[in-house]
Amino acid sequence: MLEEAGLKLKKVKCPMCGKKFVPKFFHREKVKYEFGSTFYRIKNPKFKNSNENGRPYNIVRRSWVTFCPKCKYIIKFAAEVGKKEMLAEFSSFLHLKEFKENGNIYEYNFYNYGKPYKEALYYNEILMEGMRNNILNTLEDLKLESWGKLYKMWKSEKTIDSFKFLIRFYSLILKYIEIPDIEISNEKYSEQIKKLDISEDLKKDLLEIKKLRNKVVYEYHDLNEMDEKFIQNIFVNLVFDLIFKKLVQMGLNSIYNKKDTEIIDNKFIYSKLKKIIGNYLEEQLGLGEYANEFVISLLNKLKITLT
């Protein structure tokens, strides 16, 4: 039986040094308690307070143990408590657990109590849950599905070739810069690209994409391996930039850096963030072998590191 004592969402105060802290853990420990010893009953005056000269009303069989991170004082809470309960019905001889006192038959029934306070892991998970929802909602705004679908068709499903990818990628860029006209002039195109809030290198690359697309369409240029690599890099860099900006907007790095370092575990949060963003990239874009490097560079750029 587990009686939930209601986990407290507050810090434990160390009775020795007064430090308030969130316990990293509680472990259950067996309490050595021997009852039935006449010697103990006679010699220990405390025992008398519990119940004349009988056995105590409550005994502790297991405790939750933690310690103060500052002075290392060990702090215990009851985890399993035996309550002395009188039996209404009993047989003529005593069962193993039963005992007689003042003409009545008693036994101890044991009750379990949950951990008295929330542990650090709980706080880490709550913070992480908030971050996860925030990240996924933020990235959803990017509407990367069409970008991802196209990239997957090219890279993992191989249902389109590099030529088709380039043509469709170019039209996605036009959509992105809000130009519906495929035959937009170079001047107008470059004007729109320059307005974008992206790095200068990326702007140059997007201008090159138009040139390459024109070469393929009008000059019958066959895409070679270098071209393919180039197109792929620009695609990945553009997506990287879009995601990075969104995460900066939502303040992901300030949430990460403002955390309470006494409670929040860097490694835990870092690896969870890597997983959340990595899964998102895999689902949306199918970046495959690039995903890990992508996420690590993204977190680095956001100044989210393990140190």
Buried b (16+ CB within 10 A) or exposed e, 176-211: ebebeeeebeeeebbebbeeeebeeebeebbeebbe
Residue closer to Zn ion (CB basis): 16 or 248: 16
d(CA 116, CA 260): 21
Using a 10 angstrom Cβ sphere, with 0-12 exposed, 13-18 middle and 19 or more buried, the burial of residue 267 is exposed
Residue closer to Zn ion by CB (options 16, 182) is 16
How many angstroms from the chain centroid is the CA of residue 229?
35
By C-beta, is 19 or 221 nearer to Zn ion? 19
Max Cα-Cα span within the chain: 109
Q: Whose Cβ is closer to Zn ion: residue 10's or residue 48's?
A: 10
* Choice between 71 and 94, CB closer to Zn ion: 71
Euclidean distance between CA atoms 119 and 260, whole angstroms: 14
Residue with smaller CB distance to Zn ion, 28 or 70: 70
Question: Which of residues 14 and 131 has its CB atom nearest to Zn ion in the complex?
Answer: 14
| Minimum distance from residue 104 beta carbon to Zn ion (Å) | 44
Smallest separation (angstroms) from Zn ion to the CB of 119 = 17
Write down the least CB distance from residue 262 to Zn ion, Å: 13
* Helix ranges restricted to H, the chain: 38-43, 45-51, 120-140, 145-155, 162-176, 186-195, 200-218, 225-249, 252-257, 266-284, 290-301
What's the CA gap between 235 and 228, in Å, rounded? 11
Q: Which is nearer to Zn ion, 73 or 244 (CB)?
A: 73
Give the integer Cα–Cα distance in Å for 76 and 154.
61
Check residue 14 and report its DSSP letter: P
Residue 243, both tokens: 């995601």
Phi and psi at 83, nearest 5°, equal -110, 130
The residue among 72 and 204 lying less far from Zn ion, judged by its C-beta, is 72
Q: To the nearest whole angstrom, how small is the minimum distance from the Cβ of residue 10 to Zn ion?
A: 16
| Positions that interact with Zn ion (CB under 5 A) | 14, 16-17, 19, 68, 70-71, 73
**Using CA atoms, how far apart are residues 208 and 221, in angstroms rounded to an integer?**
14
Q: How far is the CB of 118 from Zn ion (least distance, A)?
A: 19
- We find the least distance from the C-beta atom of residue 123 to Zn ion, in angstroms, to be 20
Written as one letter, the residue type at 218 is Y
For residue 70, the minimal CB distance to Zn ion (Å) is: 5
Q: Cβ–Cβ contacts within 10 Å for residue 239, how many? A: 20
In angstroms, give the least distance from the CB of 149 to Zn ion: 57
Residue 121 Cβ vs Zn ion, minimum distance, rounded to whole Å = 21
